[in-house]
Structure 1
Amino acid sequence: MDAEADGLPPAPPQASGMDLAARRRLFISQPSTLATRRQQAVCVRRAHKMYGGGKNPNIVLDGLNMTVPKGAIYGLLGASGCGKTTLLSCIVGRRRLNSGEIWVLGGRPGSRGSGVPGPRIGYMPQEVALYGEFTMRETLIYFGLIAHMSRSDIEDRTEFLLKLLNMPNGSKFVKNLSGGQQRRMSLAVALLHEPELLILDEPTVGVDPVLRQSIWDHLVKITNDSHTTVIITTHYIEECAQAHVIGLLRGGKMLAEESPHFLRQQYNADSLEDVFLKLSVMQNMGKRRRSSIAQEIVEQVTVPAISNPALDISDEQHAAEISGEFGDNISMSSAARDPITTTAPAAPPLPPADETPTSFWYNLQVMQKHHLHALIWKNFLWMMRNVGIMLFIVGLPVVQILLFCYAIGHDPTGLKIAVSNHEMSKEMVEEQFCPVARGCHQSMLSCRYIDMLVRNKSMVVNYMADDEAAYDEVRRGRAWAALVFQPNYTSALVERTEMGRYAENDTIEESDLGIRMDWTNQQISTLMYRDLQYTFLDFVQVILAECDVNPKIGTVPTDFKEPIYGYRNPNFTDFAAPGVILTIIFFLSVAITSGAMLIERNEGMLERCLVAGITGTEILLSQVVTQFTVMFSQTSFVLIVSFYFFELTLVGNVWLVVALCILNGLCGMCFGFVISCAVDTERTATYVAMGSFLPIVMLCGIIWPIEGMYPLLQSITLFLPLTKPTESLRSILQRGWDMSYPTVYYGFISISAWVVVFLVLTILLIKFKKG
């Protein structure tokens, strides 16, 4: 039997006379030197990988060795959960081993210039990992741009792959494909740029048997014609009979690594499944002589005679040696077969891939233009495919600022008061009519005061027959205050005004307006308290003015001049608007960016792009560029609605306002990136965003002055992202301050520092959160 029929690569000159077994041992059992690593597509030595810690860690790879010859199809076989996917993730550089080493295409994965992750490999993960909103053609264009292919080459390869994989029209959306078609589309992406190393994680699941054979024929063809190396995983053992080399993986250990024909011949088995069963039994017997395998199964399995005494299980010592031998690959151990002394041909010394000479500018290069082009094109295409979602995202802040401006900060109107006015007759009370005399008249002054409450403060008055009835209205919640006027209120008030310090006590008491209020609502009760007093001052001044008396006589002897900043009668809207505007922009930016990144992660696109050579910095920058356009639109609409339509107070420079709001939105975007990289699901991201929303709103001086908080909380607020920007924006809007004031530029410095912190955290999470 010749080597080509068994799928072996051509023999080196020194091995021309060797038999098949010797050829195999020469190729994959030679010492792990730099030269041999360069001759192999993948070389894994003593690989250990575990998850968790403590006393019971989950060991996924346990001292695994693996050798993949260049230009061969390598079938990695094993049951689900045996470590195949983890091993492949380590090979492509997306996970790190706890110990051991991996060489891929002559270099270490992730090293500068190795191309891994990058364009030298094509990767098809277990999940589909494609955008459902893209057509098949657009999907291939995107990954072709990542691989720096020209549009004409992408078009040619697209037509070829769609025909090869029996796919429908290229304009069909991925989400409308069947499950099997989506798997084939994922395979097409891996095959698109004709990589040196093709890694396929269970590519034929759910694929028609005829098409499955067509895929295998194509894999054989590309390994023969273009010397592509293929690693294919499956738990269908007999499917890999066409592979050049197969590796049998079980429990994190490689049981064997040989050609299918050699394994069947060596273990005297009719099928690879029988070989796998025998090796599994031998592994269990080697781990522990009194294994948990059912005795009848052990007796039915015929273990081939092996010359190596290390595999003789006649005593405990030999059993321990078996375990050690199985730590290496059974079939690749030279001690387990006829000794071969042939060594690999001498190779000139080569520098490690990490030290491959590259230009100074290459080492400084963090981002590549074609990667950014592909990512930005993809992001904008996704937005165009989700117009409804984007309109909602852009319009939501406008709706929120409209609700704020209409609902928050206005003085309450229509507040009901119950009045017991003993100056009124019974008929007046029944008719709910209190006559008002204009001018310098000293009659029914109580009615004149109440008239000013109704006209100026929009209060609703209900005249009651007696005091208890008025109080009962408040008790029953039908009024906010009860006002009581004494029978001779007008005359007592006039006498009190004229007599001054000589007024009698009875006169003073009869001229008092008795008020009992419902103080359960602080905002309403405080505003009503203010309005009742301010209205009385206005009422006295109006009467004095109409009687040609200086109105100041009826006021408190304090003179409040024009305010230096703000207005005499400030409103809550102007106080809260800066914080509300910043909060809306900040948290909507958090929502859109965290959502966009999590969609990519959960659909597998992020992982696939990183394996294709995209860096975390490139992904971050592309998201910043595309999401910035959305955030800028949101900010523009919020500011236009706030200051043009609702005319909120704006004394300072509008461009400072715009700059601070954009920086705030950028900070929110970066915080969203951190959340999306730190958590795994949209639900967790929502919880994190909600959990951070309330502390920021409550502690950043948005709805209550920081000076009113406990001293400890005042210290904490200094380190929150919206505290200083809120103070800065409030000073710009209401005081007209510019960047020469510390309060203003502290806000810009604070928000800029948080942007940098969040960006660095995002890059670190993308880079190191691999498992």
Structure 2
Amino acid sequence: MVQQKAVIVRNAIKRYGKNLVFDGLNMTVSRGSIYGLLGASGCGKTTLLSCVVGIRYFDSGEVWVLGGNPGSKGSGIPGPQVGYMPQEISLVGEFTTSGALYYFGRINGLGDKEIETRQRFFSELLQLPPANRLVKNMSGGQQRRVSLAAAMIHKPELLILDEPTVGLDPILRENIWAYMIQITQEEDITVLITTHYIEETKDANKIGLMRCGKMLAELAPQKLLEQFQCSSLEETFLKLCKAQDNTVSLNDVQESKVEDTGSDVSYQNQYEQAATLEYKSVSKRQVSRFKRFTALLAKNGNQFLRFYGGLVYAILFPIIQISVFIIAIGKDPKGLKIGVVNNEAGNCDYGSNCGNVWNDEITCHFNNLSCRFLHDFSDSIATQEYYDDIYEANYAIQNGKLNGLMYFSQNFSESLQIRMEDATMAKDSDLLASQIQVFLDMGDMQIGLHLQKKLFYRFLEIYEDIMRDCKYSPKLADPPIRFKKPVYGSIDLNYADFLAPSYMLILIFCLASSVSTSVIITDRLEGVWNRSIVQGVRTNEILLSHIIIQSIIIVVHTTMIMLLYFSIWGLESKGSIFDVIILTFLMGFCGLMYGFVISIMWTNYTMAHYSSTGSFLALILLSGCIWPIEGTPKVLRWISYMLPTTLPSISMRGIIYKGYSVSEEQVYIGFIIVIGWTLFFFIVAILGIRWKSS
């Protein structure tokens, strides 16, 4: 009976592009032993370990770990049977020492009391930093010791350590090796370790020497020294490297000198023996999904709450955005200037001339009505600047000094009297002279339209006063079209009222997506994602735990939006405020799922944030937020309707300004769209995670 093996690799081939990492590599690790894997930096040690734990895969070849292929039912990987310490620290920066050990202990099935006991032991053995110190505030050596403790906390059957002693002092390295020798002898634990310090592997049961994609030799350290008649393992490794170089230079015509040494690990014999091995499936420790999930929730919650910059952004940024909207949008423009050329009364004696209107019971007489129109001309409309010549004022407009120009003809009042008293007999010259001629700078359309509206209503207001002074009905001043009270909304709504419903939904969508965009990327870059997967955590559990934590932020965002818009700004909803809250939350949740899709799609922050920002601009432009979608071309309009924010924005306007309930088609179609997009993003996220993990 051949001794039971913990890890067996046969004929492994691995390429990265055109680079060949492994070329028929073989490795055998016996149970209850320490196996030291040695090789130059970049020779593929880390890649080999990642293939052993199932993070990466060989292009061809076979691997057995604890009785089965990694990922299969018979193997202990993924699961708590293995303890894995990658070369990188692979810990969340917001972990404390205690938090890191509790997280990895819980996902491997340990109870809190057991974790506490083992934490005390490893704190003394590894000289761990204080329990409440954050990983991001530790030195490199302290981080590595915490990472090592996290791998060993649950006493796995197989311990895989990638350069755990780098940067540690010699005494601590000796303590670690003494502990590994103890657990292999007393608890039948297997240790597979890589290290920069070749000589420290003298205490290993077997060492494997890797170079150029092949295993040069697998022997006990003492046997290697005796066989090659060397005084140090470094000298032995150097001889093996030279032997391999000689073999390559002969184009493989001669056999490797390594194989000529009579090593007891001839790969051909090993491969033949592999067929006779009885692979005994390990007894898997059962870890409840609930325990893993609660550990993930605690980890994600601490990660978010201790990332103070992100926390401030998530809470303060929406307050700033909404406050800026409330303060900056919809107010009347101030500081405008309008030129006045009054050929009737000049500068109206700087406001002392207000014009005259009198009725001699036969007819009504006007004098200097231009001054009446200009008197008390509020600066909220525009500041008046008088000019003697219309061409001079027009030149000032061209130079950007004025926003517009009003011109009164010399006989403005008399012509207006003729127009009013006997319009049928009025000459064209009288009709033209009775007009206030206005020239606006429409290069800034919104300013121009604002002045146009204000001047028009100013004229109607003064004209009604003139009718009263003439003892005529003020209704004579009304234009022959009258806009009655609107069926929905108010006639005095401004541009901010038009923007508000769409802006609320787009804002919460983009806030949620920006918060979740970097979540998965962070886990991957910090290495905690792969490390958790190796310990048996499932990808859908990681995603769901992030969704739950981030949903709390959506609740906070929704609450702030409701308070700022409805309580502080005074926006009134004609419909159910509950419907408004639910639609806002659902839109935030949709943005959250979209952010997860981006986070899964990209592997770096730059591309993720480019995607998020680009999406925000597209939503602003195409969802009817800044301009009605009826003003876009038909094809673009249908694209707009397919966006996740367009129809829900229409639904929100229906609730707020029309008082519609969810039973109305205009409202429930928005709910259907946002739920549909949420489900779509969720499915894409699940499929994306599985594809990335395969």
* Both proteins in one fold, TM over 0.5: yes
Code of the residue aligned with 2:78 in structure 1: it is P
Q: Give the 3 Å change call, closer, same or farther, for CA 737–697 of structure 1 in structure 2.
A: same
Q: Where do 4+ consecutive residues of structure 1 move more than 4 Å? A: 321-326, 334-337, 340-347, 386-389, 436-441
Instruction: Tell me the SS of whatever aligns to 1:442.
Output: strand
Query: What CA distance in whole angstroms lies between the structure 1 residues aligned with 2:90 and 2:358?
Result: 83
The reply to whether residue 46 of structure 1 matches residue 14 of structure 2 is no
In the TM superposition, 1:350-365 aligns within 5 A as: none
Whichever residue aligns with residue 95 of structure 2, its letter is F
Q: Distance in 1 between matches of 2:122 and 2:556?
A: 40
Q: Which amino acid aligns with 2:387?
A: M
- Aligned pair in 2 of structure 1 residues 343, 435: CA closer, same or farther (>3 Å)? closer
Partner of 1:257: 218
CA distance in 1, matches of 2:94, 2:505: 32
SS at match of 1:204: coil
Q: Which deviations, in whole Å up to 9, do the C-alpha atoms of 1:339-363 show, x marking residues without a partner?
A: x99998785x97x89xx999xxx9x
Cα-to-partner distance string for 1:137-182 (whole Å, 9 max, x where unaligned): 2221222222221111111101110111123443333334332222
Match of 2:114 among 134, 138, 153: 153
Aligned residue number for residue 295 of structure 1: none
Query: Which aligned pairs between 1:489-500 and structure 2 lie closer than 5 A?
Result: 489-500=412-423
Amino acid across the alignment from 1:484: Y
Residue 573 of structure 2 is aligned to residue 650 of structure 1: yes
Matched pairs, number: 688
| CA offsets 1:596-649 (integer angstroms, 9 cap, x no match) | 433333322222222222222111111111111122112101111101111124
What does residue 300 of structure 2 align with? 379
Letter in 1 for 2:10: R
> Residues 149-298 of structure 1 correspond to what in structure 2 (within 5 A)?
149-289=110-250
Q: Which of these residues, 574, 589, 598, is aligned with residue 512 of structure 2?
A: 589
Q: Distance in 2 between matches of 1:467 and 1:495?
A: 25
- 2:542 matched residue in structure 1: 619
The amino acid across from 2:6 in the alignment is: A
State yes or no: 1:696 paired with 2:619: yes
Partners of 1:609 and 1:75 in 2: CA distance: 24
C-alpha offsets along residues 271-300 of structure 1, whole Å, 9 cap, x if unaligned? 33333333333333444526xxxxxxxxxx
Distance 1:451 1:432 in 2: 6
- 2:65 aligned with 1:104: yes
**Ranges in structure 1 where 5+ consecutive residues have no aligned partner:** 1-11, 13-25, 28-38, 291-312
TM-score, length-scaled by structure 1: 0.83
Report percent identity of matched pairs: 40
Counterpart amino acid of 2:295?
A: A
Mapping of 1:635-714 within 5 angstroms? 635-714=558-637
Measured after TM superposition, the shift of residue 386 of structure 1 is: 4.2
- Shift of the 407–673 alpha-carbon distance from structure 1 to 2, 3 Å rule, reads same
TM-score with structure 2 setting the length: 0.91
- Map 1:173-572; keep pairs closer than 5 Å: 173-289=134-250, 318-319=253-254, 332-333=265-266, 368-386=289-307, 389-425=310-346, 428=348, 431=350, 433-437=352-356, 442-451=366-375, 453-454=377-378, 458-572=381-495
Q: Which moved more, 1:527-536 or 1:618-627?
A: 527-536
Among 601, 605, 611, the residue aligned to 2:524: 601
Contact 1:732 1:744 in 2 (8 A): yes
Assess if the C-alpha contact under 8 Å between 1:73 and 1:220 holds in 2: yes
Superposed CA deviations along residues 385-406 of structure 1, whole A, max 9, x for unmatched, are 3456524421220111010011
> After the TM superposition, which of the residue ranges 238-247 and 119-128 deviates more from structure 2?
238-247
> What code does the residue aligned with 2:560 have?
F
AA partner of residue 374 (structure 2): I
Q: CA RMSD in A?
A: 3.1
CA distance in 2, matches of 1:569, 1:666: 34
Change (3 A) 1:465 1:331: farther
| CA–CA separation in structure 2 for the residues paired with 1:692 and 1:64 | 47
Shift of 1:444: 2.4
- Contact 1:452/1:539, CA 8 A, preserved across alignment: no
Residue 324 to residue 649, structure 1, CA distance change in 2 (3 Å): farther
CA distance in 2, matches of 1:442, 1:381: 78
Q: Relative to structure 1, is the Cα distance of residues 754 and 286 closer, same or farther in structure 2, using a 3 angstrom cutoff?
A: farther
Higher deviation after alignment, 481-490 or 59-68 = 59-68
Compared CA separation, residues 756 and 535, structure 1 to 2 (3 A) = same
**Cα displacement (A) at 1:62:** 2.7
Matches of 2:267 and 2:50, distance apart in 1 = 29
* CA gap 1:572/1:341 in 2 versus in 1, 3 angstroms: closer
Q: 1:91 to 1:343 in 2, by over 3 A?
A: closer
Residues in 1 aligned to 2:357 and 2:571: alpha-carbon distance in whole angstroms: 37
Q: Cα 1:273–1:569, aligned 2, differ >3 Å: closer, same or farther?
A: same
Distance 1:149 1:570 in 2: 62
Partner of 2:20: 59
Q: Which moved more, 1:261-270 or 1:733-742?
A: 261-270
Which region of structure 1 is more displaced relative to structure 2, 758-767 or 640-649?
A: 758-767
Whether the 8 Å CA contact 2:76–2:284 is kept in 1: the answer is no
Counterpart code for 1:760: I
Does 72-81 or 127-136 show the bigger shift?
127-136
Who is 2:362 aligned against?
Answer: none
Stretch of structure 1 that moved more, 180-189 or 586-595: 586-595
SS in 2 for 1:718: helix
Secondary structure at 1:519 match in 2: coil
1:462 and 1:179 map into 2 onto residues whose CA distance is 71
Match of 1:116 in 2: 77
State how far apart, in whole Å, the 2-side matches of 1:712 and 1:572 are.
26
Give deviations 1:117-143, integer Å, cap 9, x for gaps. Answer: 221111111112223443312221222
**Cα distance per residue 1:240-281 (max 9 Å; x no partner):** 121112222222222222222333333444333333333333
Kindly indicate whether the alpha-carbon contact (under 8 Å) linking 2:96 and 2:132 is maintained by their aligned counterparts in 1.
yes
* SS in structure 1 at match of 2:668: helix
Measured against aligned partners, the alpha-carbon deviations of 1:658-693 in whole angstroms (never above 9, x if no partner) come to 111111111222222222222233333222222222
Change over 3 Å in CA distance of 1:322–1:550 after alignment to 2 = farther
Deviations 1:414-436 (A, max 9, x none): 4221111122246x45x355425
Corresponding residue for residue 8 of structure 1: none
CA distance in 2, matches of 1:646, 1:417: 32
Match runs of 1:730-741 below 5 Å? 730-741=653-664
Helix, strand or coil at the partner of 2:338: strand
Does 1:631 pair with 2:554?
Answer: yes
Question: Match of 1:676, as an amino acid?
Answer: S
- Partner residue in 2 for 1:144: 105
The Cα of 1:459 is off from its aligned counterpart by 2.5
Contact 2:65 2:76 (C-alpha < 8 Å) held by counterparts: no
- Give yes or no for contact 1:453–1:532 (8 Å, CA) kept in 2: no
**Alpha carbons 1:44, 1:101 under 8 Å: kept:** yes
Query: Does the CA-based 8 Å contact 2:517-2:612 persist in structure 1?
Result: no
CA distance in structure 1 between the partners assigned to 2:107 and 2:357 by the alignment: 84
SS at match of 1:43: strand
Structure 1 residues 118 and 733, CA gap change in structure 2 (3 angstroms): same
C-alpha distance in structure 2 between counterparts of 1:683 and 1:439, whole Å: 74
- Letter of the structure 2 residue corresponding to residue 529 of structure 1: Q
- Which residue does 1:299 correspond to in 2? none
